[in-house]
Structure 1
Amino acid sequence: MVNIQQTSVSVIGPGHLFNGQPNQDAVLVKSVPSGWLAVVCDGMGSKPHADLGSKIACRSVFNIIKNVQFTVESKELITLIYQQWLSSLGNVKANDAVTTCLICWLSHQGELRTFQLGDGLIINSKKELEHSDSNDFGNITTGLGKSKKFSDWQVTQQQMGKGDVIALMTDGISEDINQGAEMEFVNAIAKSIKAKSIRQAKTWLKNEFKTWATPNHTDDKSLALLVINK
């Protein structure tokens, strides 16, 4: 059984706050029968139901992954998630609820599978990623409700170990981090929350995002973090 410390936070950006709009990001970290799941989604700001699209995407991923084997084929998994998302939207048109979708699925044996559609960042302690079925340039300006191609998803699989850190974040965070300093940023957060409870970690991280150092930042900010203890 994999043992982790985890935290997840989503904070509305000053731009949406000023305009009276909702947070269009969504984040979820939950245990599943096969291990742990983290999902971060960013609704496309120009769409009228972007906030709904991202929230439903997180729930759809969880509802599918809790009921399938860790070995499920990537294309089949993504198809199931997309169908669940479409069904859960009800009368809302998919094109009105476009959202990015970043997924990390960690097995009890420490194996990590990641899936990314659209912008944002998935990063972990292992420098070498084992890419499969992926398109390195397919993750830009797309999302659920816009893309119907498996090739638009970036898919990886690799073995993780004790002490490794895994993070998913929306572009409201990743685009403000100096290129090459992303893992340093993630490790600093992991170190800061090490002695904190889940509640304390969330409170601290929310405050960090609300007092974001980048001048004139406007975007929502969401992050999910997993630290493998054993």
Structure 2
Amino acid sequence: MKKLNFRSDFAEYVDEDFTTFTFNAISVRGERHQKDNEHNQDYFKCSVKSDLKYAIVADGLGSAKHSHIGSEKAVEILEEMIKASFHPLAPVSEIDIYEFNSKLLEKWKGCFLNETREYDTTLLYVIIFSHGVLTGSIGDGLILWSMKNEVVHIKEEKNSFSNQTYSLASNQALDYFKFDYTPVNFEDELPIVFILTTDGVSDDLKPDVLKQLPAYLNKELEDKGVKGMQKVLGDWIINWETENHSDDRTFCLLTIGKAGEKA
């Protein structure tokens, strides 16, 4: 059975304060995996209609036989834990986040017992509270976000010595989880744009492009709306023409703006 070349999703939600939340996401099976009819090892999940808004992206390691299962399971576990562990109004401490990541790692490893290396994956997430933004990650890929069209946070990291990425199956993986909580007064900082990508996209994006990308996509969203934005991303990510074109590619865009401004 031939596997689908891509999966995508998008949504828009306007709350009682006329704040608009949107997401657009697409995950494309890389050309090598298409040729060999193999699985897309990336997986994503986004939500703007729940109390906590979030975006999650996982990138299964190419060396792991079942990483497409491991990446999907990591996203599913994280989504369940977000709903069970956090409340949009409750404060979040570093201890809370550390324990959250520890429990996530324990639950994921518990699915595969002694075979975690065969299911290995990296993981990125953004969680939006009423009082701020939590980002978390292990491994490579990119988290990029901006407020008022000014880039305020970029995350992308590999092992600086070996150039290999950390992952959920790494020894002492919890030590390599990166997280950052940023308090935000959302009324004063809109529009806010979040971008999460796997390295099949981020490795090809130059620094000057990264700095301009949130404002550019926000303008596209204002002009075309959330449905039109999905076509823009689809045309771009599906028809990728840069160096790492053989990798699976996942791109998630999540925005916060005022109704009538689209983002």
Alignment TM-score, normalising by the size of structure 1: 0.85
> For the structure 1 residues 125 and 97, does the alpha-carbon distance in structure 2 shift closer, same or farther, using more than 3 Å as the test?
same
User: Which amino acid in structure 1 is aligned with residue 41 of structure 2?
Assistant: Q
The alpha carbon displacement at 1:93 in A equals 1.9
The residue that corresponds to 1:15 in the other structure is: 32
**C-alpha separation between the residues in 2 aligned to 1:130 and 1:209?**
20
The alpha carbon displacement at 1:198 in A equals 4.3
- Contact preservation (8 Å) 2:140, 2:198: yes
**C-alpha separation between the residues in 2 aligned to 1:21 and 1:142?**
23
**C-alpha separation between the residues in 1 aligned to 2:208 and 2:171?**
29
Deviations 1:171-207 (A, max 9, x none): 1111101123213123323322335454443343122
The residue that corresponds to 2:245 in the other structure is: 217
The alpha carbon displacement at 1:8 in A equals 1.2
Deviations 1:37-77 (A, max 9, x none): 11011000011011111111111110001011252611110
User: Which amino acid in structure 1 is aligned with residue 101 of structure 2?
Assistant: I
Verify: 1:85 aligned to 2:84, yes or no: no
Verify: 1:50 aligned to 2:67, yes or no: yes
> For the structure 1 residues 5 and 14, does the alpha-carbon distance in structure 2 shift closer, same or farther, using more than 3 Å as the test?
same
3-state SS, counterpart of residue 207 of structure 2 = coil
- Contact preservation (8 Å) 1:12, 1:221: yes
Aligned residues between the structures: 225
2:140 paired residue among 111, 114, 119: 119
User: Which amino acid in structure 2 is aligned with residue 79 of structure 1?
Assistant: S
**C-alpha separation between the residues in 2 aligned to 1:115 and 1:55?**
17
3-state SS, counterpart of residue 208 of structure 2 = coil
**C-alpha separation between the residues in 2 aligned to 1:97 and 1:156?**
26
User: Which is richer in strand?
Assistant: 2
Verify: 1:190 aligned to 2:213, yes or no: no
1:28 paired residue among 45, 62, 67: 45
Deviates more, 1:43-52 or 1:176-185: 176-185
**C-alpha separation between the residues in 1 aligned to 2:237 and 2:86?**
35
**C-alpha separation between the residues in 2 aligned to 1:156 and 1:13?**
31
**C-alpha separation between the residues in 1 aligned to 2:115 and 2:192?**
40
> For the structure 1 residues 177 and 136, does the alpha-carbon distance in structure 2 shift closer, same or farther, using more than 3 Å as the test?
closer
3-state SS, counterpart of residue 48 of structure 1 = coil
**C-alpha separation between the residues in 1 aligned to 2:50 and 2:123?**
21
- Contact preservation (8 Å) 2:57, 2:197: yes
Verify: 1:141 aligned to 2:165, yes or no: yes
**C-alpha separation between the residues in 2 aligned to 1:207 and 1:15?**
19
**C-alpha separation between the residues in 1 aligned to 2:62 and 2:158?**
24
Deviates more, 1:191-200 or 1:213-222: 191-200
**C-alpha separation between the residues in 2 aligned to 1:189 and 1:162?**
14
- Contact preservation (8 Å) 1:130, 1:156: no
> For the structure 1 residues 214 and 155, does the alpha-carbon distance in structure 2 shift closer, same or farther, using more than 3 Å as the test?
same
- Contact preservation (8 Å) 2:60, 2:119: yes
- Contact preservation (8 Å) 2:22, 2:48: no
The structure showing larger relative contact order (alpha-carbon pairs under 8 Å, at least 6 residues apart) is 1
User: Which is richer in helix?
Assistant: 2
Deviates more, 1:211-220 or 1:12-21: 211-220
Aligned CA-pair RMSD: 2.8
User: Which amino acid in structure 2 is aligned with residue 183 of structure 1?
Assistant: K
The residue that corresponds to 2:124 in the other structure is: 102
**C-alpha separation between the residues in 2 aligned to 1:102 and 1:33?**
19
User: Which amino acid in structure 1 is aligned with residue 36 of structure 2?
Assistant: N
The residue that corresponds to 1:41 in the other structure is: 58
3-state SS, counterpart of residue 121 of structure 2 = coil
**C-alpha separation between the residues in 1 aligned to 2:220 and 2:139?**
29
3-state SS, counterpart of residue 177 of structure 1 = coil
Unaligned runs of 5+ in 1: none
User: Which amino acid in structure 2 is aligned with residue 37 of structure 1?
Assistant: Y
